[in-house]
Amino acid sequence: MLLFFRDILWRRLRRNRMAMVGAAIVLVMFVLAMAAPLLGRDPGAIDIARRLQGPGWSCLLGTDDLGRDVLSRILYGARISLLVGFVAVGIATVIGVILGALAGYYGGWIDALLMRFVDIMLCFPTFFLILAVIAFLDPSIWNIMIIIGLTGWMGVARLVRAEFLSLRERDFVQAARAIGASDGRIIFRHILPNALSPVLVSATLGVAGAILTESALSFLGIGVQPPTPSWGNMLITGKQTLGTAWWMSVFPGLAILITVLGYNLLGEGIRDALDPRIED
């Protein structure tokens, strides 16, 4: 079943050119991030003699106000952004799937209680909630990932709940109950694998959102702290010399734009590929 689902997904994705462009962008950024030690220099190496050097053969994307290579810092910053995106979305997905599955499967007062909690969480603007929490914590990369994950699970919970409400009365679930399968087995072995399609789409789009959130926090000075390279703190550093050293802001900004665009295109493509109304 899983192999059949994968084959259908891949066949439909291949027909979607924009989705394949997004997949190519995601793959290239992942490879560049992993190969940063081979492709770049030490991102923290200071060379005052080369400060504010424009793009050229010696430094393809120029240097910053401390003489550090901008390309190397972007490559290492990609590692930070992808790590934050994957870990934060992983945390949000696990929480959302568990709570959504419980609400959708059991219904009744459990569903009412969990969904009211979701409604309360949605009342708070997510970004300002993150700002409020970080104000009381050390702005480290691990705290950033955990906080983004803990404040981004509500949409996943609603999607999973809706799928469970639809699937829990299907014949295969009734058959599992009839042979005495436990609730845990029915939830995780029978219903959940059939409810993961919207979760896959949400997770793909969520990585883009997490990268944007981390960049915004770092831009405000409460995200990843220097000298650790992050696309967000590179933007705020380049802001000071935007008129004379445009490359310090333009290239990190393009990295954010291209990466987020890639994940959004891929997520939209997966959503279209999983649409049951589309025929092969």
Question: Mind listing the domains of the chain with CATH numbers?
Answer: 2-42+60-273 (1.10.3720.10)
Q: What is the mean pLDDT of residues 92-114?
A: 91
pLDDT at 113: 93
Burial bucket for residue 201 (CB in 10 Å: 0-12, 13-18, 19+): buried
CA distance 163 to 172: 15
pLDDT, tens digit (0-9, with 9 covering 90-100), for 17-51: 888 898 899 999 999 999 988 887 888 888 888 88
Angular region, 107: left φ>0, alpha ψ -120 to 50, beta rest: left
pLDDT at 7: 62
Q: Could you say which DSSP state residue 53 is in?
A: P
Q: What is the mean pLDDT of residues 53-64?
A: 83
Q: What distance separates the 2 farthest-apart alpha carbons in the chain?
A: 77
End-to-end CA distance of the chain: 17
CA distance 118 to 39: 44
- Confidence class for position 258, pLDDT limits 50, 70, 90: very high
pLDDT, tens digit (0-9, with 9 covering 90-100), for 142-177: 888 888 898 889 989 999 998 888 888 888 888 888
Q: Helix (H, G, I), strand (E, B), or coil: what is residue 63?
A: strand
pLDDT at 228 over 90: no
**Helices 154-167, 197-219: inter-axial angle, 10-degree rounding:** 170
Q: Name the E strands within 118-260.
A: none
Q: Could you say which DSSP state residue 221 is in?
A: T
pLDDT at 256: 93
pLDDT at 1: 44
